[in-house]
């Protein structure tokens, strides 16, 4: 291949891409794209920090330095060093979180509806006499007898892991211990001061949020977040399902690999959180995981062939309780992992958790809930009809910066807000770092401003006569900055506008379908809840002005953050909330959007920008938009 021939390199999960000359290293390409990969040695193959994975394409073979710096497991897992790896074709490259200097902004928290403890795990103190030749009863027998006598338990059983744990615990702690009991089963033991802990996780397509909780008080002890490592195998759900299906090989190797990545990440999070809290991992007595249907299937290693094609049938939508050890997770010997139920299609446990956290099905007002992301889930609640209807729509990864000319994830240097003036462009970047690209909120702002200034019309087409519009590699474009990746400045192109139009077309079609099937007029909607990381940072006025969300004149709009993790925490500490999640899933109706009779027309209408002059900028409307 000629030295001057250009190759296209795309990087996930940061959502950036760049064209480079043949002969450049992957590290060179990353730097050119404005991605800061850790490399203490400056890219000379001495530190081994710039680890990456080649998801697609051809590169130079492993060299001596890579074989020296990478472990056998790293090589088996297909890691390479970015500074030593040279592309010989177009590439798709995954950068693990540990190799990134500028961490992505992770939305961990959400607005809590209420978290009241209704203990699932009980802790009981035991103080036993040491055994003698006259009383050589088995350790577990004596523990069960004491629990029956002092705490009134009947028909107790013991997990085999707890049986293995007890002799050592008792003898190390002078025959004093604390038993962890789940319903009528002894699942483990701790020291006499041990507190039963819980691990709550929102397993998102792009990001993972996790909390360590005190199961007795409901108190949060520590939190952490991570990029979903499965992004190496595709930014969207269908790409990952396709990988799992078409890399089945021996013993479903593709599915096992995706499952292993999540389980390894969970264990790393557990280690990090328990170290922060100063507690042993064996005190984690319960785990609650929420995620969309595809994510929970990939985590549990469930069959996904039937989920990846119409009519998108899950292996199960029931709630599940699986031993943590059966999933390879570090916890109390007999701890369980609880998966909340799903509703249908890709509307899964995270959506149920969002409804749970927002108390949506308990409200006395007509409420629309929207969790905007790569796959957007929407729910409509009609209290007068006790009607709860949910659907999902494939809004695409543009909100995460993917498939956008200068798009990127929400990391340092990403433009997150934009305002056009007669003198130029005003913008703000995450971390106040030099601008290197646009994240989702910045893309929304930029398009809203272009529409406000009539630089694009209601069909999304650029006004080519405007002096600020030029022709670029993706059609007509508007330059936001003079500097950026490749030194060419950051632009919004015709292609980028179209990506957002496709996303908003799908979301609007979903909302219109829900209004129709529930018999709800726009004037009847009294509350709009916007959930999720992306929904936390968007400017609501701009979002409504471009029609990404409809304008409901009688509705209060609320941005609630990551409500899925709030729902996971509620279900972790409360048996009542777990029961509520079951009732939500059982009573909700699932609507398959693509089969709705007006879907095509609604989608086409939703792609257009509103023609009428919206009044969302007036004082009254501003007061109805709440953070």
Q: What share of the chain is helix, strand, coil (3-state, %, to 5)?
A: 35, 25, 40
Give the per-residue pLDDT at 105. 61
State how far the Cα of 570 lies from the Cα of 117, in Å rounded to an integer.
8
Pick the more confident residue, 562 or 96: 562
User: Residue 386: how many CB atoms within 10 A of its CB?
Assistant: 9
Q: Contact at 8 Å (CB) between 342 and 293?
A: yes
Q: Is the pLDDT of residue 365 over 70?
A: yes
Residue 307 token pair: 């989920």
Question: CA–CA separation, 480 vs 425, rounded Å?
Answer: 6
Using alpha carbons, select from 114, 58, 60 the residue that is nearest to residue 90: 58
Please, are residues 181 and 124 in contact by the beta-carbon 8 Å criterion?
yes
Task: In whole angstroms, give the CA distance from residue 419 to residue 425.
Answer: 6
pLDDT band at 620; cut points 50, 70, 90: very low
CA-wise closest residue to 41 among 73, 82, 71: 82
**Cα angle vertex 276, ends 574, 218, to 5°?**
15
Distances (CA, A) of 17 to 7, 29, 315, 320, 436: 11, 9, 36, 40, 12
pLDDT value of position 112:
54
Tell me: pLDDT of 618 over 50.
no
Separation of CA 270 from chain center:
17
pLDDT at 627: 38
Structure confidence at residue 604 (pLDDT): 92
Question: How confident is the model over 75-127, as pLDDT tens digits?
Answer: 888 889 999 999 999 999 999 866 775 555 665 565 655 678 999 999 999 99
pLDDT for 235 beyond 80 = no
Average predicted confidence (pLDDT) for the chain: 89
Q: Which residue did the predictor score with more confidence, 218 or 237?
A: 218
Write the pLDDT tens digit of every residue in 179-228: 999 999 999 999 999 999 999 999 998 889 999 999 999 999 999 998 88
Q: Above 90 in pLDDT, residue 363?
A: yes
157 in helix, strand or coil?
strand
pLDDT confidence tier of residue 486, bands split at 50, 70 and 90: very low
Count the neighbouring beta carbons within 10 Å of the beta carbon of residue 167: 12
- Check residue 86 and give its pLDDT: 93
Q: What percent of the chain has pLDDT over 90?
A: 64
CA distance 228 to 259: 11
pLDDT at 4: 55
pLDDT in tens, 294-327: 999 999 999 999 999 988 999 999 999 999 999 9
CA distance 95 to 72: 19
The pLDDT assigned to 617 comes to 43
Q: How far is CA 6 from CA 18, 25, 86, 148, 166, in A?
A: 10, 13, 13, 75, 64
| Contacts for 191-197: CB closer than 8 Å, 24+ residues apart | 192/125, 194/123, 194/280, 194/283, 195/123, 195/279, 195/283, 196/121, 196/123, 196/283, 196/285, 196/286, 196/332, 197/221, 197/274, 197/277, 197/279, 197/283, 197/284, 197/285
pLDDT at residue 473, as a whole number: 65
Distances (CA, A) of 57 to 3, 7, 22, 255, 481: 18, 11, 13, 21, 32
Q: Is the peptide bond before 145 cis (omega within 30 degrees of 0)?
A: no
- Predicted confidence band at 623 (pLDDT cuts at 50, 70, 90)? very low
Enter the DSSP assignment of 562. Answer: -
pLDDT of the residue at 433:
86
Question: Which range has the worst mean pLDDT, 64-68, 82-86, 208-212, 479-483?
Answer: 479-483
Domains recognised in the chain with CATH numbers: 6-99 (3.10.20.30), 102-306+325-336 (3.30.420.480), 349-397+501-626 (3.30.420.40), 406-491 (no CATH)
Model pLDDT for residues 500-543, shown as the tens digit of each residue: 999 999 999 999 999 999 999 999 999 999 998 788 889 999 99
Rounded to the nearest 5 degrees, what angle is found at the Cα of 542, between the Cα atoms of 540 and 543? Answer: 60
Backbone φ and ψ for 179, nearest 5 degrees, come out as -90, 140
- pLDDT, position 153: 93
């Amino acid at each position: 291949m000629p030295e001057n021939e250009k190759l296209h390199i795309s990087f996930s999960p940061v959502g950036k891409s760049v064209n480079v000359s043949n002969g450049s290293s992957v590290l060179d390409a990353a730097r050119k794209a404005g991605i800061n990969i850790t490399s203490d040695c400056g890219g000379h193959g001495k530190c081994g920090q710039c680890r990456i994975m080649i998801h697609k394409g051809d590169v130079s073979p492993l060299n001596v330095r890579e074989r020296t710096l990478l472990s056998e497991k790293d090589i088996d897992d297909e890691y390479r060093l970015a500074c030593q790896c040279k592309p010989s074709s177009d590439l798709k490259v995954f950068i693990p979180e540990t190799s990134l200097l500028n961490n992505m902004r992770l939305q961990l928290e959400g607005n809590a509806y209420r978290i009241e403890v209704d203990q699932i795990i009980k802790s009981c103190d035991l103080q036993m006499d040491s055994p003698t030749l006259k009383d050589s009863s088995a350790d577990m027998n004596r523990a069960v007898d004491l629990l029956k006598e002092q705490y009134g338990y009947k028909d107790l059983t013991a997990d085999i892991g707890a049986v293995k744990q007890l002799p050592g615990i008792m003898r190390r702690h002078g025959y004093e211990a604390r038993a962890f009991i789940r319903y009528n089963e002894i699942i483990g033991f701790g020291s006499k001061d041990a507190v039963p802990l819980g691990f709550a996780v929102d397993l998102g397509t792009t990001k993972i949020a996790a909390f360590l909780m005190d199961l007795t008080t409901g108190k949060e002890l520590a939190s952490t977040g991570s990029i979903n490592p499965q992004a190496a195998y595709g930014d969207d759900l269908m790409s990952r399902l396709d990988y799992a299906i078409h890399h089945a090989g021996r013993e479903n190797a593709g599915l096992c690999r995706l499952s292993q990545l999540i389980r390894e990440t969970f264990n790393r999070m557990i280690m990090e959180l328990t170290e922060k809290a100063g507690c042993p991992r064996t005190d984690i007595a319960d785990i609650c995981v929420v995620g969309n249907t595809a994510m929970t299937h990939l985590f549990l290693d469930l069959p996904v062939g039937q989920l990846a094609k119409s009519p998108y049938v899950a292996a199960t939508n029931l709630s599940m309780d699986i031993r943590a050890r059966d999933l390879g997770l570090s916890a109390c010997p007999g701890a369980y992992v609880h998966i909340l139920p799903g509703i249908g299609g890709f509307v899964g446990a995270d959506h149920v958790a969002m409804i749970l956290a927002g108390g949506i099905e308990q409200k006395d007002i007509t409420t629309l809930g929207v969790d905007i992301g790569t796959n957007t889930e929407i729910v409509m609640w009609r209290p007068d009809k006790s009607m709860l209807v949910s659907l999902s729509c494939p809004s695409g990864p543009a909100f995460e910066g993917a498939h956008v000319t200068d798009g990127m994830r929400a990391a340092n240097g990403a433009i997150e807000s934009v305002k056009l003036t007669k003198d130029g462009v005003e913008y703000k970047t995450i971390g106040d770092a030099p601008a290197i690209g646009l994240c989702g909120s910045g893309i929304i702002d930029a398009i809203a401003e272009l529409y406000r200034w009539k630089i694009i019309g209601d069909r999304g087409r650029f006004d080519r006569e405007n002096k600020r519009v030029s022709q670029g590699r993706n059609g007509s474009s508007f330059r936001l900055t003079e500097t950026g990746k490749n030194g060419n400045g950051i632009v919004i192109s015709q292609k980028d506008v179209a990506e957002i139009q496709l996303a908003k077309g799908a979301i609007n079609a979903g909302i219109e379908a829900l209004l129709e099937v529930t018999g709800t007029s726009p004037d009847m909607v009294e509350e709009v809840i916007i959930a999720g990381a992306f929904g936390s940072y968007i400017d609501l006025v701009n979002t409504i002005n471009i029609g990404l969300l409809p304008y409901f004149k009688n509705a209060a709009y609320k941005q609630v953050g990551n409500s899925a993790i709030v729902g996971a925490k509620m279900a972790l500490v409360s048996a009542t909330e777990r029961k509520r999640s079951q009732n939500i899933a059982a009573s909700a109706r699932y609507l398959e959007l693509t089969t709705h009779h007006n879907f095509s027309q609604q989608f086409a209408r939703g792609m257009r920008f509103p023609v009428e002059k919206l009044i969302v900028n007036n004082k009254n409307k501003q007061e109805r938009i709440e953070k």
